Chain A
Amino acid sequence: MTILEKKTIFPVTRIHNPMLLEAWLEDGEIKDAFISDTLYRGFEQILLGRSAMDMPYYTQRICGICSSAHAITASLAVEQALGMYVPPNGLLVRNLILASDFIQNHIRHLYLYTMPDYFRGPDIAPFIPHSESDLRLSSKENTLMTEHYFRSLEVSRAAHAAFAVFGGKAPHGHGIVPGGASMEVDADRVNRYRGYLMEIMSFIDDVVLPDVTLIKERYPEYVNLGKGVGNYMSVGGFPSPEGSTLFPQGVILQGKRESFNEKQVTEDVTSAWYKPHGPLHPMEEDTVPDHNQSKGYTWVKSPRYRGQPVEVGPLARAIIAKEEVIGLGALARTWARSLELKKIAETALKWLNRLEPGSETYDGRKGQDSGVGIGLHEAMRGTLGHWISVKNGRVDHYQIITPSAVNFGARDETGTRSVGETSLLGLKIKSEDLKEAGRVIRSFDPCFSCSVHIIDGEKLHALNIQV
């Protein structure tokens, strides 16, 4: 009988919002892991009773780094519920706003959040104290990486400026509204957007792709360390006026491909701090926090597809789209993210060329003032879904499933671990600060501001796991 050793990292830094990792080790190997989100805000309750037309603005406030993804998804849901139509030009403008937000997010994630796991930053705060273990870059490469780190700030800033060209401001833009986009299209704006895009595209080719290649060569084992559960999902996204999408839709369960069916999505709260209910479809479920729920260890519910945990994000999208992947672990996710970055920037240029100056971008007509709607769109870190029911223009029911909840949800009623918790199993830890685990976790680009919801005071769930 072995007693496992417990290690806690809190906060897991360089992600959005608080994440607590509790890892159980035996001879330096992770045997079990619990990932917990330690913040509850309760957006789903706050949305009730508000004007449905406000949803794109309100739901953006769930997350500051993927705000426009919430705006689009909420708009899609409201448009379906109220029978609204989006003109082709409006569709393209919305794609352009979201594309620039994807670019900003991916660049910031790659440089500000991922790279510091692999290089040694300069001797100034916030890089000190350094995490010294397992650094493999030469001092020249380190200097270069530091330069790129700082340049990435400027480039991601330019991406947000591109966002604001059609979105008014970023983050939490105003341009995406039910019925299309509020900004008209003219040559000045198109050129302005193109200018930012050109700067971004050369940065991707000259800096991002070579840097990711270098890291993957220096840390080859991480290409496959940190694998998920082998299930992948994408709901698709970036529609074109002809109806095709840049990201295809699909699911892979245990190696078998199938088409995505919204009805198979459920959420379960067995191990999360909510009033208990079995797996329920988002249209049926509620969100009633119950901090004393004895099995609870996180505020994140457990979204499942046909009862199974699935991985979402750039790697999943690449697999669903049958694109080349280099592996299934941490750096494979990073690699997929950087290629997706390039793909989105290139496609944005095509959308930009298709815009028709002067033709309408917005149509405010509504078919009805009550109804139900489902908004599904891929966000930066994976599948995002908004389920809404509207009565007389007001929100009667609202549920949101975010990518980080899909990747990092609680254990479900069968005790099955999420993708994120599974990816840590078997990881060999040599560093004092569990750097290895940090690398794997960050490769998902987790964002706990959106996944919502911990731990009961002192009683950090005292599971005494014995093997």
Chain B
Amino acid sequence: MLSRRDFLKLVVKGAVLGNFYQLIAPSLAQAVAAGEVKKLPVVMIETGTCTGDSISLDNIWTPTFSDILSNIADWRYDWSMNQAQGNAAYRILQETYEKMPNEYILIVQGSMIQRDEGHYNHVAYDKGKLITGLELVRRTGLKAKYVVAIGSCATYGGPVSGYPNPSKATGVQNILPERKVINISGCPAHPDWIMGTLLHLALYGEPELEKFGRPKLFYGETVHNQCPRRRDYDQGIFATDIGQKECLFRVGCKGPVTYADCPIRRWNDRFNWPIGCNTPCIGCTEPGFPDLMSPFTVHSPDIPFPGGTKASTNSIGLGVLGLTSVAIVGHIATSLYKGRIQKNLLKSSVKGKHRFAVKKVKTFHQYRVKKE
């Protein structure tokens, strides 16, 4: 079996060469054949989602999703793929959590809809009773070996939890406080991020996670630090509109505060990616996406420095280079983390009569409407 160190190397190599899955899958298939590990029993529950993460996973390159289904994973419940429907489909899920506790991986796709105790999102029908997404994720989550949240919505609430969050959506970790949730964020999550994490779980158990519960092997570095336009940024050469070839910071790029390996891994056969398409990174992998990251395509507001001076984002990089840019990035990052600029951005992104009074709450989305 592949050592864990080699596995980690292949994650990077596969990103560069574009054959990540092909490099890693054979050793898992071998390990499965040799009886060293079991075919991964997986159940996927869709809650408040657009199904984009399923579609993204179908897009996994070399060889294909079919290989995963035949050799690697026992893809038991996934309502967008099950041949059975209704009760017959639900029974698979029920059997898995009743008869295989601590063996299966639960994948959740979609936000946890909490409004009206979850009744704004029913997902199953059991003995004449409708079951909410909230309830089913707790029921299956407490018995799973691993809980993996995929996509922006399941990890931190995502677009559905955007202000004023009418369905009271939140991430899975918030409703399963008693156990660890592995977060594969992204809108949608890159198929390599999902499959890479599942393969790691099968072969070596839990990967190393960063502070927001994401595997460091994919989310260990910012988009900005690996971006091919970084030289422009350092020299103060900025695009003035989308569609241009220079650094996109002034048209709203959130690369400096977004952790993901998109610049090296790229998307869909690895030919292109959002910044390669001359548009800003919109920070889709970060907690607080979308509110913290919006407006997506508008120049970020001026940044107040500790000590009272304001650095206009126009002058970033100009001459001062290194230090200033490091300071600014550091500053945005801590402010985001502490929710300081979230309030500002909320004020600037939600204007006029639609601006509600906000109060601070302790979740990834730190501000909520005071009364509805």
Q: Which residues of A contact B (CB under 8 A)?
A: 8-18, 20, 38-43, 45-46, 48-51, 53-54, 57-58, 61-65, 67, 108, 112-113, 116, 121-122, 124-131, 150, 153-154, 156-158, 160-161, 163-175, 177, 180, 182-184, 192, 289, 291, 361-362, 364, 391-392, 394, 396, 433-435, 438, 449-450, 454-458, 460
Q: How far is the CA of A18 from the CA of B48 in the complex (A)?
A: 9
State whether A13 touches B85 (Cβ < 8 A).
yes
Contact partner of B83 among A15, A130, A457, CB < 8 A?
A130
In this assembly, does B22 line the interface, its C-beta being within 8 Å of a C-beta of chain A? Answer: no
| B354 close to A49 (CB less than 8 A) | yes
CB atoms of B187 and A39 under 8 A apart: no
B161, chain A: closest CB distance, angstroms: 9
Report B209 CB to chain A, min CB distance, Å: 24
Contact call B278/A157, Cβ cutoff below 8 A: no
A216–B90 alpha-carbon span in the complex (Å): 30
Digitize B252-279: 1 where CB-to-A-CB distance is under 8 Å, 0 elsewhere: 0000000000000001110111101111
- Find out whether the CB atom of B70 lies under 8 angstroms from the CB atom of A39: no
Q: Are B52 and A61 in contact (CB under 8 A)?
A: yes
Residues of chain B contacted by A158 (CB below 8 angstroms) = 269
Return A198 CB to nearest CB of chain B, in Å.
15
**Is B46 a contact partner of A154 (Cβ separation < 8 A)?**
no
Known: A61-B159, A157-B59. A171 touches B167 (CB 8 A): no
The minimal Cβ–Cβ distance linking A102 to chain B, given in whole angstroms, is 14
State which of B192-200, B288-296, B304-312, B322-330 sits at the interface with chain A.
B288-296
CA distance A116 to B79 in the complex (A): 13
Give A158 to B271 CA distance when docked, in angstroms: 12
Check A53 against B49 for contact (C-beta < 8 Å).
no
B residues less than 8 Å from A43 (CB atoms): 159-160
Query: Which residues of B come within 8 Å of A, CB atoms?
Result: 46-56, 58-61, 64-66, 69-70, 74-92, 111, 113, 115-116, 119-125, 129-130, 158-160, 162-167, 169, 187-188, 241-243, 267-269, 271-274, 276-279, 282, 284, 290, 294-298, 349-352, 354-355
Verify B273–A169 contact, CB threshold 8 A: yes
CB pair A45–B130 under 8 Å, yes or no, is: no
Write the nearest CB–CB distance from A247 to chain B, whole angstroms.
Answer: 23
CB pair B352 A391 closer than 8 Å: yes
Q: Decide yes or no: A433 and B52 within 8 Å by CB, A40-B113, A64-B188 being known contacts.
A: no
Q: Are B298 and A64 in contact (CB under 8 A)?
A: no
Query: A126 and B82: CB pair below 8 A?
Result: yes
Beta-carbon contact of A51 and B187 below 8 Å: no
Alpha-carbon separation in the docked complex, A170 to B60 (Å) = 12
Given the complex, which residues of B lie within 8 Å of A17, measured CB to CB?
A: 46, 49-51
- Chain B residue with Cβ nearest A38: B122
* A151 closest partner in B (C-beta): B66
Residues A175 and B279 in contact in the complex (CB < 8 Å), given A126-B81, A364-B241, A456-B119: yes
12 further A-B contacts with Cβ under 8 Å, apart from A46-B160, A169-B274, are A11-B124, A12-B86, A46-B165, A64-B51, A108-B55, A108-B58, A124-B70, A126-B75, A154-B66, A183-B243, A394-B354, A456-B119
Contact A449 B163 (CB under 8 A): no
Count, A-B residue pairs, CB within 8 A: 316
Tell whether, in the assembled complex, residue B294 and residue A41 are in contact, meaning their CB atoms are under 8 Å apart: no
Within the complex, what minimum Cβ distance (angstroms) separates A147 from chain B?
9
In the complex, which residue of chain B has the Cβ closest to the Cβ of A61? B159
Decide: A126 and B83 in contact? CB cutoff 8 A: yes
- Using Cβ atoms and an 8 Å threshold, which residues of chain A touch B84? 13, 129-131, 433
Chain A, Cβ-Cβ closest to B272: A164
Q: Can you give 9 contacting A-B residue pairs, CB < 8 Å?
A: A10-B125, A10-B130, A16-B50, A42-B167, A46-B163, A150-B64, A168-B272, A183-B272, A433-B85
Q: What is the CA–CA distance of A396 and B351 in the complex, to the nearest angstrom?
A: 9
- A177 to B298 alpha-carbon distance, docked (Å): 13
Contact of A175 among B48, B269, B277 (CB under 8 A): B277
Closest 8 CB pairs of A and B: A64-B52, A168-B277, A42-B166, A49-B354, A169-B267, A9-B86, A150-B66, A51-B295
* Contact status A11-B187, CB under 8 Å: no
Contact for B167 among A8, A41, A53, A438, CB less than 8 A? A41
B113 touches A41 (CB 8 A): yes
Report the minimum CB–CB distance from B107 to chain A (whole Å): 13
Given contacts A51-B296, A64-B55, A161-B268, contact A172 B187 (CB under 8 A): yes
Contact across chains for B56 and A171 when beta carbons are under 8 A apart: yes
Which residue of the partner chain, among A168, A362, A454, contacts B273 with CB atoms under 8 Å? A168
Q: Which residues of A contact B269 (CB under 8 A)?
A: 158, 161, 164
CA A465 – CA B221 in complex, angstroms?
A: 61
Of the residues B115, B167, B169, B274, contact of A168 by C-beta under 8 Å: B274
Assuming the contacts A64-B54, A65-B55, asked whether A168 and B267 have C-beta atoms less than 8 A apart, the reply is yes
Q: Tell me how far the C-beta of B22 lies from the nearest C-beta in chain A, rounded to whole angstroms.
A: 13
A12, A40, A64 — which one has the most chain B CB atoms within 10 A of its CB?
Answer: A64
Task: Kindly state the separation between the CA atoms of A12 and B79 in the bound complex, as whole angstroms.
Answer: 8
Q: Are A183 and B278 in contact (CB under 8 A)?
A: yes
> Would A116 and B83 be within 8 Å (CB), given that A38-B121, A51-B297, A175-B279 are in contact?
yes
Q: Which listed residue (A124, A170, A180) contacts B268, Cβ 8 A?
A: A170
CA distance A163 to B116 in the complex (A): 39
* Contacting pair A182 B243 (CB below 8 A): yes
Q: Which of B91, B120, B276 has the most CB of A within 10 A?
A: B120
Query: Which B residues lie within 8 Å of A289 (CB)?
Result: 120, 166
List chain A residues, Cβ under 8 A from B49: 17, 64, 449
On whether the beta carbons of B295 and A54 are closer than 8 Å, the reply is yes
